[in-house]
C-alpha cells in the first residue's frame, strides 16, 4: 500500500518556488502515441513455443548412453540423461537381478531428480511401466515437464543475453544477487494467465508473467550462471505452497524471495527488498519449510535492506524511500551499511543523474523535486503530481496528469 500524501497546495521558500531556467519541461505524450519516443517496460508475449524435438545422442558429459544399464547408479544416470533432455517418453533396458526392481526404480528417479534443482523444479507428473523377468527389465517412462527442450533453448539464450550486459568478474556476491532480484521483479508481473506454464522459468522470461515457482527457478538459473551458490526452496505460506531461494553471499546463507519482493498489483520498475538476503528468523514469520533439508540462514548483515523501497543505486550507495520512517528519502552506504536521512520529504519514484536525485515529493503534492546527493539544494522542479520517473538519453521523463513530460538534464 502506498503511503497517503497531502494534496493541499503547500509552498516552500521563495528559492524553492523559482524554477531554474535550465529546467525546460515539454509534453511528449503525442510523441509516445505516435511512436517517436518509446520506453518498452513490458515483455512481448510469445503466443506459442515449438514442441521439443528428439533428444541428443550423448549425455551431458559427452559419454554415449548405453543400450543397457546394470546397476542403480547406471539407472540413475539414464534417468538423469532423459530428464536433462526434457524427454517425455523413453525406455531404459535394465540387465541384472530384478528382485527389488520397484525400489530400484524409485531410488533412481529420486536420485536423478536431486542432481539438479532446476530440472527437479520443472518435473511434473510421471507414469512408469515395466516388464521384467529375473534378470532383465524393460522400463518405459512417460514424464511430463513444466517446460520442454525448445523452451529451455529460449531460457538459455535469454539468460546469456541478460548476463552479457554486466561484468560478473567485477561484481560482489551482493551485487549479483541484487541484479538478479531487480531484473526479475522489474520485468515480471505475478500472474497465472500465461500461454506456457506459469510455473516455468520460460514463462517469466518470455511472457513477463508467472508464479512463485517460475520466479524462483529463473533466479536459481541466473544466479548459478553468475557463480553464486543457490538453493531452490519449497515451503508454505498463508496461501498454500510457495517457492523461493537460499543464496550464499560471502560464505553466509540468506533467503531471497523474488516473488514477495514484487509488489502486487505490479508497480513496473519498483522493487521491494523486504525478503532480500534475510534470515531464518524473519522468514519464519510468514514462511514455513522443512529446515532440515536446507542450510541455516542466521546472519543479519543485510537486514537494513528491508527498509528499502523505490531504490536508485549509484557509486556504492542506494537512495531510497525508507518504509520504516514514513517513506522519507534516505541513502545507504553499501560499503559500511550506514544509513542517513537526506530530507524530511517523503519520496517515491526515485531516479538520479550526475549529482542530483529526482523524486516525486509526497510531502508536497507529489511535485517533482530534486536534491543534491549530499542532501543540499532541495527544490521543486515541476508543480504538479508526477509519477513513474525514468531517465533515458540525457532526459528525465515523468507522467503528469495531462500526459508524459520530458526534461533535458
The β-bridge relationship of strands 209-210 and 189-190 is parallel
Are 243 and 216 in contact by the 8 Å Cβ rule? The answer is yes
DSSP 88: S
| Total-model pTM | 0.80
The dihedral sign for the CA sequence 200, 202, 207, 208: positive
Q: How many helices (H) and strands (E) in the chain? A: 10, 22
Instruction: Report how far Cα 184 is from the mean position of its chain's Cα atoms.
Output: 3
pLDDT attached to residue 25 = 77
Q: What is the pLDDT of residues 300-356, one digit of tens each?
A: 999 999 999 999 999 999 999 999 999 999 999 988 889 999 999 999 999 999 999
The set of cell numbers assigned to 119 is 530440472
Are 243 and 121 in contact by the 8 Å Cβ rule? The answer is yes
What are residue 368's DSSP bridge partners? 360, 382
Orientation of helix 149-163 relative to helix 212-225, angle to 10°: 60
What are residue 243's DSSP bridge partners? 234
Report the C-alpha gap between 185 and 168 in whole angstroms. Answer: 20
Instruction: Report how far Cα 289 is from the mean position of its chain's Cα atoms.
Output: 21
Report the C-alpha gap between 27 and 322 in whole angstroms. Answer: 31
Are 359 and 382 in contact by the 8 Å Cβ rule? The answer is no
Are 224 and 159 in contact by the 8 Å Cβ rule? The answer is no
Report the C-alpha gap between 334 and 248 in whole angstroms. Answer: 18
**Among all chains, which residue has been given the C-alpha cell 553464486?**
228
The set of cell numbers assigned to 366 is 507529489
Q: What is the pLDDT of residues 152-189, one digit of tens each?
A: 999 999 999 999 999 999 999 999 999 999 999 999 99
- Please list, in sequence order, all residues whose beta carbon lies within 8 angstroms of the beta carbon of residue 87, skipping any fewer than 6 positions away: 52, 55, 143
**What are the pLDDT tens digits along the chain (409 aa)?**
233 333 333 333 333 444 444 567 766 655 655 444 433 333 333 333 333 333 334 444 445 677 899 999 999 999 999 999 999 999 999 999 999 999 999 999 999 999 999 999 999 999 999 999 999 999 999 999 999 999 999 999 999 999 999 999 999 999 999 999 999 999 999 999 999 999 999 999 999 999 999 999 999 999 999 999 999 999 999 999 999 999 999 999 999 999 999 987 666 778 899 999 999 999 999 999 999 999 999 999 999 999 999 999 999 999 999 999 999 999 999 888 899 999 999 999 999 999 999 999 999 999 999 999 999 999 999 999 999 999 999 999 999 999 999 999 9
Report the C-alpha gap between 130 and 93 in whole angstroms. Answer: 10
Amino acid at each position: 500500500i502506498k503511503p497517503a500524501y497531502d494534496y493541499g497546495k503547500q509552498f516552500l521558500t521563495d528559492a524553492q518556488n523559482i524554477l531554474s531556467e535550465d529546467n525546460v519541461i515539454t509534453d511528449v505524450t503525442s510523441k509516445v502515441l505516435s511512436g517517436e519516443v518509446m520506453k518498452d517496460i513490458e515483455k512481448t508475449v510469445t503466443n506459442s513455443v515449438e514442441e521439443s524435438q528428439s533428444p541428443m545422442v550423448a549425455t551431458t558429459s559427452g559419454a554415449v548412453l548405453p543400450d543397457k544399464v546394470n546397476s542403480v547408479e547406471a539407472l540413475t544416470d539414464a534417468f538423469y540423461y532423459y530428464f536433462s533432455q526434457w524427454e517425455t517418453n523413453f525406455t531404459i533396458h535394465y540387465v541384472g537381478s530384478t528382485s527389488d526392481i520397484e525400489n530400484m526404480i524409485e531410488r533412481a528417479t529420486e536420485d536423478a531428480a536431486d542432481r539438479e534443482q532446476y530440472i527437479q523444479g520443472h518435473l511434473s507428473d510421471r507414469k512408469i511401466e515395466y516388464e521384467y523377468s529375473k534378470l532383465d527389465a524393460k522400463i518405459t517412462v512417460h514424464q511430463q515437464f513444466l517446460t520442454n527442450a525448445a523452451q529451455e533453448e529460449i531460457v538459455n539464450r535469454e539468460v546469456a543475453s541478460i548476463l552479457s550486459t554486466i561484468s560478473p568478474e567485477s561484481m560482489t556476491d551482493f551485487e549479483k544477487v541484487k541484479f538478479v532480484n531487480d531484473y526479475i521483479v522489474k520485468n515480471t508481473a505475478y500472474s497465472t494467465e500465461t500461454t506456457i506454464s506459469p510455473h516455468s522459468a520460460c514463462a517469466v522470461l518470455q511472457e513477463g508473467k508467472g508464479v512463485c515457482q517460475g520466479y524462483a527457478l529463473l533466479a536459481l538459473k541466473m544466479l548459478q550462471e553468475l557463480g553464486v551458490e543457490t538453493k531452490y526452496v519449497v515451503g508454505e505460506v498463508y496461501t498454500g505452497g510457495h517457492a523461493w531461494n537460499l543464496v550464499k553471499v560471502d560464505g553466509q546463507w540468506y533467503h531471497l524471495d523474488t516473488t514477495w519482493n514484487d509488489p502486487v498489483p505490479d508497480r513496473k520498475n519498483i522493487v521491494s527488498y523486504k525478503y532480500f538476503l534475510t534470515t531464518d528468523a524473519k522468514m519464519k514469520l510468514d514462511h514455513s519449510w522443512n529446515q532440515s533439508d536446507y542450510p541455516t540462514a542466521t546472519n543479519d548483515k543485510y537486514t537494513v535492506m528491508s527498509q528499502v523501497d523505490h531504490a536508485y543505486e549509484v557509486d556504492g550507495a542506494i537512495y531510497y524511500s525508507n518504509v520504516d520512517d514514513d517513506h522519507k528519502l534516505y541513502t545507504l552506504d553499501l560499503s559500511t551499511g550506514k544509513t542517513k536521512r537526506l530530507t524530511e520529504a517523503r519520496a517515491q519514484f526515485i531516479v538520479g543523474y550526475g549529482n542530483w536525485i529526482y523524486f516525486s515529493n509526497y510531502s508536497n503534492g507529489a511535485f517533482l523535486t530534486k536534491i543534491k546527493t549530499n542532501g543540499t539544494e532541495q527544490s521543486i522542479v515541476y508543480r504538479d503530481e508526477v509519477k513513474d520517473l525514468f531517465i533515458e538519453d540525457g532526459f528525465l521523463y515523468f507522467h503528469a496528469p495531462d500526459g508524459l513530460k520530458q526534461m533535458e538534464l
